[in-house]
Structure 1
Amino acid sequence: MSASNRLQRAFHLFDEANQQDPNTEVFDGKTYPKELLYAQRMTMQLNSFEPNASEALQLTARCQHICRWEIGRDSYEMNREGYLRWRQALKKFHAEKAAAILTEVGYTEEIISKVKFLLEKKQLKKNEETQTLEDVICLVFLEHYFEPFAEKHPEEKTIDILQKTWRKMSKKGHGAALQLPLSENSINLVSKAIGSA
């Protein structure tokens, strides 16, 4: 199997897994399984932000949230400690799910280990590909999920989340974020967050 065919086969199996998501999201009048739509948005954003991304990074972006619904937030205590434990469990869960699919497709242990490394967000701010992945995650959040989040939470919490998001990003990520097609309200909130950071 050629490298291109292998990548597309992996994407297909990742999407097939995410197609099972019972949670849905309506976008442009069409209903999608939530994590399938998220995965496709991650690929689109990576292609725009880093068109020369390695195969490992392309794979990681596509399976970033694979089958996330299987470990609900309510599986852990509803406090900060519980949240952090949930996030750590998800990283390991996504890495295991992805590794099983990549093994089935025929990827080498080197590629599989790299995808697992990236999914676990190791060496953020130090490893270039981990940072690129984090930038893409933040850009997808800002473009597609920030506005609904802001509508549900008070401005103080929204600005705090924006500042935390901003701190995770690189200068290149910041530049891309400022070019996103955000609403006037979102732009104002981002400006406040950056200004008081």
Structure 2
Amino acid sequence: MVSSKLQRAFESFDAYNSNDPHQEVVNGKSYPKEYLYGVRMTERLNAYAPDANEHVQLAARCQHIGRWEIPRNSFPMDRKGYLQWRSRLALHHARIASTILATCGYDEEMIEKVKFLLQKKELHQHHPETQLLEDVVCLVFIEFYLADFAQQHEDDKVVDILKKTIKKMSSNALNVATTISMSPKISQLVARALN
């Protein structure tokens, strides 16, 4: 059961993300891209870890909040520039989320927990909740964004990205990934990455 405070936060995140000028069409209906991403994150988290703590639920919903406000091309288009962009985005998401959560009546402790997750802290130290959020991120990427990414890039590049994605996932998430419906082409690329 979703608390009224959590529902209010979700609605506030969604309202902010509804300002995304980038659109994605699903079943003939157009949605703001980051609004749709937030909903997909919540749906995947609910399926993958239905008992997730409230701060994990909050972090999942606002994972990409305001992402369009810092375009990728505002940083050098190389690996270093990509990492700088991702670091800046993490701080940007945390700042927006903090303001919204405070407005929704969350205390500083809860806000700090959400910021911790949005900044992917202790991911490589296997922090269980950071890992949980990363699992959901990877599963949402595979389910909804991988096919489009694969159309825009050479197979070897896709396999390289998949290898990096797989490295970030827990064994449980990898098992769940095998149940996601994929085209024969995507399945072949995933198999290459796994080998």
With the length of structure 1 as denominator, give the TM-score of the two structures: 0.96
The CA deviation at 1:186 is 1.0
The residue number in structure 2 matching 1:23 is 22
List runs of 5+ in structure 1 lacking aligned partners.
none
Show the counterpart of 2:169. 169
Offset of residue 105 of structure 1: 0.4
Of 123-132 and 162-171, the range deviating more from structure 2: 123-132
Matches within 5 A, 1:118-197: 118-125=117-124, 126-195=126-195
Q: Which SS does the other structure have where 1:25 is aligned?
A: strand
> For each residue in 1:68-102, what CA deviation from the matched residue of structure 2 results, as whole angstroms up to 9, or x when unmatched?
00001111112211111111000000000000000
What is residue 80 of structure 1 aligned with on the other side?
A: 79
Q: Would you identify which runs of 4 or more consecutive aligned residues in structure 1 move more than 6 Å?
A: none
Look up the SS of the partner of 1:66 in the other structure: coil
Residue-by-residue CA offset, 1:101-136 (whole Å, 9 max, x unaligned): 000000011110000000000111421010000000
- Secondary structure (helix, strand or coil) at the match of 1:157 reads helix
**Number of the residue aligned with 1:93:** 92
Q: How many residues are matched?
A: 193
What do the CA deviations read for 1:145-187 (whole angstroms, capped 9, x no partner)? Answer: 0001111111110100000000000001100111111122111
SS, match of residue 31 in structure 1: strand
In 2, distance between residues paired with 1:150 and 1:158? 6
Equivalent residue, structure 2, for 1:41 = 40
RMSD, aligned CA: 0.9
Partner AA of 1:162 in structure 2: L
CA–CA separation in structure 2 for the residues paired with 1:28 and 1:135: 26
Structure 2 gap segments, 5+ residues each: none
Letter in 2 for 1:38: Y
